[in-house]
Amino acid sequence: MRWKILSYGFLSAPAAMAIFVLLTYLPSFYAIDKGLGLGLVGVIFAAGRILDGMTDPIIGHMSDNTRTRLGARIPWIIVGIVGFAVSTWLLLVPDGKIGPFYLLLVSSLFFLFYTMFEVPYASTGLEISRDSHERSLLAGSKTFFQVLGVVAVGAVPTMFVGEMDRSLHFSAVIIISACLIGFVLFVGFVPRRDVNAQSKRVRFTTAVKFVKNDMACRTLISAYLVVQSSSALFIALTMLFVSHVMGSDEKLGIFITLFLVSSAVFLPFWVWLSKHHGKAATWRLSIGIGATFLAVPMFAGADNIYVATLFFAGAGATLVCDSVMPTSLLADLVAEHNRKEGGSVAGLYLSLKNTVSKLAFLVPMLIAFPALDLIGFNEANGSDRVADVTFLFFFSGLPVCLRLLALPIMSRWQSSLR
């Protein structure tokens, strides 16, 4: 069982690495190094994320209804991984002078193949175990390797200071190598419990009705949207918090590393707690504790190094549960649906969760950033009290409110299962 859990989780590392590099380094690389401009690059990447969200449910449903000798998911994963590896190389290692059309085409291909690989792969985690706790272990393994992958690729720029071309080239090699290793481990050690092989095909409209009429799924996805919106604000504004509020650009890497290490350390605790006290109760507890930690900058010295250390460590320790428990709860719903109705909807359910997560990360882009730009936060640079208070509202206050809003939503969990 141990090899199955580890081998399943490993394949999430290259996907997490690529998304981290894309969100963190590529915008400035293409905008400044390649001379395309921030505005144009932002529009192109935003269009890619919208395309990514639109293709999720389509590919998820199609993989649910695939019938081959290799099973439902493997053909999608093979095609997806090959396209993902090629598009990752083209995106991170552009050859010579490139224009906006190149970035639009390659980024669109990247998001398309990323979805073709990631959705069917992640859907297997909802299907391959009949044991409820083992589903938490599978979700925990996936999250652990995501964190490990981000830490690994995040350290690459420190090896090539001031040489972004070489840094991205080395990152591409790591990502593609991890893809190949992960696929071999996945095929070799993750037994395929193909619930689709003998099950009836489900039309897309019918599958959508299943989701629409599933009160437990609606409850879970609603709470997940609210919590992810909270996390999106915190993550998107972290760089501004460290550089403008704390005035410590050089400590950004330290705080991000602290956040990720704390996530990895506390991940086993949440999985253990869910086994003894239930997944929904565990997630509610982490939501509440997470709200407490996210409130710290509002009531303690936001520019205090010790307060910031406590804040990032606590945020990492609690927010990691937001990844594991909703996925494991969703796997339980898929198992129950397959038992009652027949016909797998794992891909569609998983793609719905992914789409919600992607929509949540538009919140800071559409609300926080325009508002902060309107009041001149960047120009104020810590000298305007109104600007500082407004920033802390988006970075701390609103995320706390959103997490508190999620608690009454999840309090309906047990009744939604009936």
Q: Hey, what CATH topology would domain 204-418 get? A: Growth Hormone; Chain: A; (1.20.1250)
Tell me the C-alpha distance between 256 and 239, whole Å: 9
Domain ranges (residues) in the chain: 1-188, 204-418
On whether the CB atoms of residues 348 and 207 are closer than 8 A, the answer is: yes
Q: CA angle at residue 50 from 44 to 52, to 5 degrees? A: 100
Residue 300: per-residue pLDDT? 66
Sign of the CA dihedral with 58 first, then 206, 338, and 279 last? positive
Burial of 1 (C-beta count, 10 Å sphere; 0-12/13-18/19+): exposed
- Write down the number of H helices and E strands in the chain: 22, 0
Tokens of 293: 């930690």
Pick from 137, 68, 335, 363: nearest CA to 235: 363
- DSSP structural state of residue 200: P
CA distances to 66, 258, 260 from 150, rounded to whole Å, are 32, 12, 8
Neighbours of 95 (CB within 10 A): 7
Tell me the C-alpha distance between 151 and 291, whole Å: 25
Amino acid of residue 372:
L
**For 1-188, which CATH superfamily applies?**
MFS general substrate transporter like domains (1.20.1250.20)
CA distances to 11, 78, 178, 373, 415 from 184, rounded to whole Å, are 9, 11, 10, 47, 42
| Residue 90 dihedral angles phi and psi, to the nearest 5° | -65, -35
Tell me the C-alpha distance between 149 and 88, whole Å: 15
Neighbours of 271 (CB within 10 A): 23
**Coarse DSSP helix, strand, coil percentages of the chain, rounded to the nearest 5 percent:** 80, 0, 20
Tell me the C-alpha distance between 124 and 233, whole Å: 30
Residue 41: per-residue pLDDT? 77
* pLDDT per residue of the chain (418 residues) written in tens, 0 to 9: 677 888 889 999 999 899 888 877 787 778 777 888 766 777 787 777 777 778 887 887 787 777 777 777 888 899 999 999 999 999 999 987 788 899 889 988 998 999 898 888 888 887 778 888 888 898 889 889 988 988 888 777 767 666 778 888 999 999 999 999 999 998 887 776 555 545 555 555 555 666 667 788 889 989 999 999 998 888 877 777 877 777 766 677 788 888 888 988 999 999 999 999 999 999 999 999 999 999 988 776 656 778 888 888 999 999 899 988 998 898 888 877 776 666 566 777 777 887 888 777 777 767 877 777 777 766 655 566 777 788 888 888 999 999 999 999 998 887 777 6
Residue 359: per-residue pLDDT? 77
Amino acid of residue 307:
V
**Those residues with Cβ within 8 angstroms of residue 279's Cβ, 6 or more apart along the chain or in another chain:** 132, 136, 325, 328, 329, 332
Amino acid of residue 316:
G
Whole-model pTM? 0.79
Two domains, one topology: 1-188 and 204-418 = yes
End-to-end, the C-alpha distance of the chain in Å comes to 32
